Structure 1
Amino acid sequence: MDATALVTPPYVAGPLRLEPFPALMLAPARVGNPTTGRAFARPYKDVSARLLRWQARGLVTADAEPALYLHEYSSNGMTVRGLVGALDVSHRAAHAADRAVLPHEGIHPVQADELADRMDEMQLNPAPILLVHQGSPRLREAVADIARRDPDHAYTDRGGQEHRIWAERTPETLALIAAELAESKALIADGHHRYAAYLRLQRRRVGEPAGPRPTDLGLAMLVDQTDTPLFLGPIHRTLSGTSLDDLRDAAETLGLEYAEQPQADAVHALSAARLAATDGERWAVVDLGIDADEAAVEALHHRIVPALPHGPAAIAYHHTVDDALGGARPDAIAVLMPAPSVDLVIRVAEADRLLPEKATSFQPKPSLGVLIRSLRDAPDAPS
């Protein structure tokens, strides 16, 4: 098999479960600090010892008792709130109806292996993957009740993110949350490769003696997209080795409408079913002719790119229009993409389809180091 090919990660079976765990937390001065990432760098086997030294210096705190955490963070005028716990990844779904976690992008197996090796050496889940779902009214009220209390931790990190954290240990509240989550399905917003690494670590330990296995769980943050939604933005493309004439020929081959327009009109025409493209001088709009259940990025990669008479020799990805336009030239076109809706991404995932690589950009993401999970602290094994 081509090692560079994208594959579908396995599906975790329901019920969706977030287990309490005893969190490690970096000191506020370390969270959002550009140098903090070095603490989780090679040699990975030394990371746990490094954090223990930081703990002795007061730079890391460790909760003595497991908890489910409510983490609220604010960045650039947006506030996101989610439950952080240890996601049960111990069961695989045999049927579509059994799935609890829905990936929407493929993963590179080699990258997932490398991340699993890294977590194994560090004995840590250094950051939660981001999941989104639609919470029930009862769950939303339980979360609101937690947030009405004074937070256990509140600070602004070095990167400017504001954080509030509550540790929830009340048995009645934990039981209510577990019951309300049981039938939920969560979409992976960020962290597909870390999710796949969790599954690989879990599978590696299956043959070990029975008992609690920390690798049966993986750190996750579950955000209610109805309550405090993440913003879903587009990721634009630059197609090297391809011209606007190539794009026109591909559109004609596929029976799609292609029209060259002034820049302002082309940008204004960008929509869920239309792309705008430029070589830095000319601008064009392609009407994709798709229905409401297909994403523009699928049409681009699955139909238009294969129909191009030349290239692309390479595809570059950009989170801003300016970055994309910076790469436009006669032999490399910038393609401006619309962002898919969260509902569309969920429909794609539920239909067992994967979006092309780098199709979504959920923002904002929490800073590194707010909540960390040690694999040396084995909670009760999932049932």
Structure 2
Amino acid sequence: MTGCLWPCVSGTNAKTAGSGGLFRSKPRSPTELVRHMGELLRFLSEHPEPCGGKLDSKREQKMEDLSRAIRETKFTLYGNGDAEPIAEACTQLTKEFFKENILRLIIVNLPHMDLETQKDVTQVIANLQRQKVDSRIIASDYLEVNQDLLDILVCGYDNTDIAIHYSSMLRDCIRHQVAARYVLSSQHMRKFFDYIQFPDFNLASDAFKTFKELLTRHKSTAAEFFNNNYDWFFPEFNSKLLQSSNYIIRRQSIQLLGDILLERLNSSVMVRYVSSKENLIVLMNLLREQSKAIQIEAFRVFKLFTANQNKPREIVSVLLTNKSKILRFLKDFTIEKEDRLLESDKEQVSMDILAMEL
């Protein structure tokens, strides 16, 4: 396309073109824009907010300039109502952004930005995580050597004022396997069990969304995590999520457990999980829930216990002890919409139970 994303500004409207002179004769190139943004961010890093709420007019002006620069960056990457983004400009901006270490400066300064600028930042970062330069996504290379930024983003959940914005940026970062692997291998994974139980529903839901993304997006990396961390992860998953007093947490977690165990790459973990008497008891209690949604997801996992061809003796003992209750449950377990697969699975589980003997 022939249109330019940075329209020429002249006359009395020139002052809206950004800082660095009231009457800029032409807009900044992507390289100039990124460098200008870097200068503003470095100034803000070196001049923290005054204590006691005192107004620093120079700092305030720099913040306004930064908001405009970030908004202009967003228009470059996404386009606006008058023009589509220009590929060459996006590539140039992306290269300069990571070369100038702007991601680090933005993450550090994000808590001091106003809400609208924070929203613009998350959109800019989301776009840059996907931009390719010479057929490579350079954001992945950048994160590989700046992994401490992932620590900052995860710990953002501890600050409710910026948690949603940091978590959004974190999920965009863990689109890259190198970033997801780092978080999965860190101590941060233990924190998610607490984040998911935040009293603030929006924060708790957001934390679960990130947690699920980490455990399901990169399947080979997740499988490695489950194998290496089985002994602490699944007991925590059972006690804090599947046995939570919060209905939403229980429902989301039993669905996630089913997704994990039914993933082909997690077959060894699945066999280990369904060979545990403690896990079986947790699942049988979930089958007793009044919620049909939880019952359906719990049954999806429960049938893995009965289908296991090498059931430990203690698993068989529990199933036989509860044989009549299980068969009665299966008989009464129906859903409003006819589901042939569910009926077939119920029949198979019944046959497995009836064929069991110690």
TM range (shorter): under 0.3
Larger RCO (alpha carbons 8 Å, 6+ apart): 1
TM-score of the pair, normalised by structure 1: 0.21
Bigger strand fraction: 1
**Rg larger for:** 2
TM-score of the pair, normalised by structure 2: 0.22
